Structure 1
Amino acid sequence: MAARPEGTPVWTDAMFTDVEGAKTFYGDVLGWTFGESSTEFGNYTQAYKNGKAVAAVVPPMPGQDGEPQSAWCLYFSSPDVSATAEKIRGAGGTVLMEPMQVGEFGSMCIAREPSGAVFGVWQPGTHEGFELEGESGSYVWAEVFTREPAKADDFFSSVFGYRSKTMQDGEMDYRVFDLGADPVLGRMVMTEEFPPEVPSYIQVYFAVDNCDKAVEAAERLDGRKVFGPMDSPFGRFAAILDPQGAAFAVIDVKTTVGEVPEMV
């Protein structure tokens, strides 16, 4: 697999106090199976769809204080994670976990952009990232949800060299970042509908065959529907909180309706 351009989303994982519960939930909702946990790397456990790596789940690190908040973390590709960490600092971001080597798999760091969204950076080694994308049960899209769009826009463009366009829609402030021809990330402004205690975050979308059935499966396993299901020009989608509080979205990309709004 050719190396993905810098700034391309390449991986996602989440920390769960109840890893077995997370495996049951996502196995049912997204059809994932799971590999053996890697004791050498904190019982990191990869998820697979049709035998291809799509995500991972991991328990809290030993000695971590308090009850950690479960959340999906999106990782962006970098040819040099240390250099990217310096660019993050220079653009006003905060490096929460310094660059570190993860065996032969690659190198990583965790950071927070100026408006508050946490993300990861991944410099691939033998683990190059998603083995399946855009198909049922795999990563398909992500959006930065923020109350301070100017800060987020400037940051991501500065660090990863994104170009961006604004959607021509009077009802919402939505921007799409790209690395040339292909869009790689969206940005949505958080409205008063979001409780004030909810910080900026990056919402990861997973493709499903049927959005409504995925929501029903999530609710059956004590997940909670936050928004939708509803149709959009990009497909029928819904936002969900899993039983441990991790937010994600599902979208049936086969149900695309109408024309995609123009970007300016």
Structure 2
Amino acid sequence: MPEVTAFPPGHPTWAELATPDPQASERFYRGLFGWYSYTLTVGDLGDYEIFTLGGVQGPEVAGMQALAYDSATASWTCYFRSDDLPATLAAAREAGGLETLEPTDIADLGRMALCSDPEGADFGLWYPYNLKGAGVVDEPSAMIWVELAARDIQRARRFYGAVFGWRAVDRDYYDSVYTHWKVGDRAVAGMVSMDEHWPPGYPSHWTPFFWVADCDASAARAVELGAQIRIPPTDIKPCRFCVVTDPTGARLGLVTPTTDVLAERERP
């Protein structure tokens, strides 16, 4: 499988699970995606689990750590590449976001920071040292897409345009407005409008999506492993997808892309 050598600024680069039960989460993701894992001890931050494909020596696909507080909820955090963490954080604050964790070295892997946008959706920034981010993307059992669910899509467009220089392009994949964010000609992320179909008070959030060979079979397997279906397998123009929450409550998407989309994403 082709491996990633670098991520340009503004591109999604890593996904990290925070869980109240690392052992249960490890069982789930091993059973669903066939991931392996190994443990790193990262100074004061404690143990950090790296998920891999094709064995422990395979390329990295995602990270996992235990929740820092008992009151916190399980979630996936999507990280985006930054060449200058202080400058990106300053742009986020100026655009109405918050810095929730100042730039921090993660051993020799890289330097990270955490932010939230004006609606409270959390995301991460990553500057690599020895870990560029995911070692493989756009492959089976690896991350293929990240998506923001937001109530004020105009405000979100202004914010992420200011922070990452993203250009918003509307698509008609849903009955409501769907946005592709682009860096140059490449779509790097999406945004769905949280309309009346969403539960009142449900917070804005980022969700990582992972490629599966058969969306329906993987959704059924996820349920066998303890997940709950939030959006059942559904066809849209670029893919068949579903959204689930894992046994600890973290939200993720499963995607089987169409052949046309695969051909487009393979273009340089």
TM-score norm. by structure 1 comes to 0.92
What is the alpha-carbon distance in structure 2 between the residues aligned to residue 8 and residue 143 of structure 1?
12
Q: Do 1:236 and 1:256's aligned partners in 2 also have CA atoms closer than 8 Å?
A: no
2:188 is matched with which residue: 184, 197, 202?
Answer: 184
1:201-220 alignment runs, 5 A limit: 201-220=205-224
Identity across matched positions, percent: 29
Consecutive unaligned residues in structure 2, runs of 5 or more? none
Matched, 1:99 2:94: no
2:63 is matched with which residue: 48, 56, 65?
Answer: 56
Name the residue aligned to 1:28: 31
CA distance 1:162–1:39, shift in 2 (3 Å): closer
Matched, 1:120 2:124: yes
Q: Do 1:42 and 1:59's aligned partners in 2 also have CA atoms closer than 8 Å?
A: no
Matched, 1:142 2:142: no
What is the alpha-carbon distance in structure 2 between the residues aligned to residue 223 and residue 230 of structure 1?
17
Q: CA offset at residue 22 of structure 1?
A: 0.2
Q: CA offset at residue 117 of structure 1?
A: 1.0
Number of residue pairs the alignment of both structures matches: 255
Consecutive unaligned residues in structure 1, runs of 5 or more? none
**Could you list the runs of 4 or more consecutive aligned residues of structure 1 that deviate by over 3 angstroms after TM superposition?**
254-257
One-letter code aligned to 2:145: W
2:82 is matched with which residue: 78, 85, 93?
Answer: 78
- Three-state SS of the structure 2 residue aligned to 1:21 is helix
1:10 is matched with which residue: 2, 9, 13?
Answer: 13
What is the alpha-carbon distance in structure 2 between the residues aligned to residue 243 and residue 168 of structure 1?
32
Query: Does 182-191 or 161-170 show the bigger shift?
Result: 161-170
CA distance 1:189–1:217, shift in 2 (3 Å): same
Q: Do 1:236 and 1:253's aligned partners in 2 also have CA atoms closer than 8 Å?
A: yes
Q: CA offset at residue 194 of structure 1?
A: 1.5
What is the alpha-carbon distance in structure 2 between the residues aligned to residue 165 and residue 98 of structure 1?
31
Matched, 1:165 2:169: yes
- Three-state SS of the structure 2 residue aligned to 1:36 is strand
